[in-house]
Amino acid sequence: MQRIREGLGLARGMVVSNVWLLEHRGRRILVDAGHGLERLALRFHLWRAGVRRRGDLDLVVLTHRHSDHAGNAAWLRRTYGCAVACHVEDAPELTGARPPALMARWPAMPFDYVLCRIEDRFPARTPVDEAFPDGPWLHGLRVRHVPGHTAGSVLLHHEPTGTLFTGDSILAGIPPLRAFERPTLAKAAYSADVAGSHAMARAFIGDLPPTSTLCSGHGPAITERVEEKLRRLLA
């Protein structure tokens, strides 16, 4: 794990999307689970971080249901005996109780269209142990529901440390690059309602809680002038 600060790490060898390891009062929490194609890399980074057997990981919390973020959730649950949690609006799709809305649509760039077709064909599936609503939750996390990227997309604000986990509702850079910062709002090609997603994210930024670290689903961790960079997205 790349150490971002005390109690926060990033699985640096994973390319498709970011997986964050948060430690809070002796609990180990993964924010997002990564894509199934990168399972071996995730296991390696967890091993290096001391997550090696059942009981070493307490919780996987998902920012949204897409397979690049939730693809390893069921495997993590089986392997480490941890719980899986997501927002109530994404839980039915993740458990298979409700078919997800199709993502692939024209017009679209060919690369985006192909990735969306793959997502439509192979959506993430996992048991969900807890489906949370808006508001204060466990382990110092406060949930802000920002539907639009998916129905259950959330921002997770870790209040004790001012760390904001944004999934794909606010991106820190251009996937799959981590070398350059470029904060942006959700990308239209992968969002069910991109205008709604942008409006919800901007509403959150307009009343931004104290935030010192931005941990997005893609791009680098942002640790300097975070609030200033987020407020630029209001323009």
Q: What pLDDT sits at residue 180?
A: 86
Q: How many domains does the chain have?
A: 1
Strands 154-158 and 130-132, sheet pairing: unpaired
Integer Rg of the chain from CA: 16
CATH number of the domain that 172 lies in? 3.60.15.10
Q: What pLDDT sits at residue 13?
A: 87
Q: What pLDDT sits at residue 28?
A: 98
Helix (H/G/I), strand (E/B), else coil: 46: helix
Residues 162-215 have pLDDT tens digits of 999 999 999 999 877 788 899 999 999 999 999 999 999 999 999 999 999 999
Residues 50-86 have pLDDT tens digits of 999 999 999 999 999 999 999 999 999 999 999 999 9
Q: What pLDDT sits at residue 234?
A: 96
> In the numeric block, which tokens belong to residue 165?
């986990």
Let me know if residue 102 belongs to a domain.
Answer: no
Q: Could you list the residue range(s) of the whole structural domain that residue 131 is in?
A: 2-96+113-234
Let me know if residue 132 belongs to a domain.
Answer: yes
Q: What's the CA gap between 32 and 18, in Å, rounded? A: 7
Sequential DSSP letters for 71-107: TTHHHHHHHH--EEEEETTTHHHHHTSSPPPP---SS
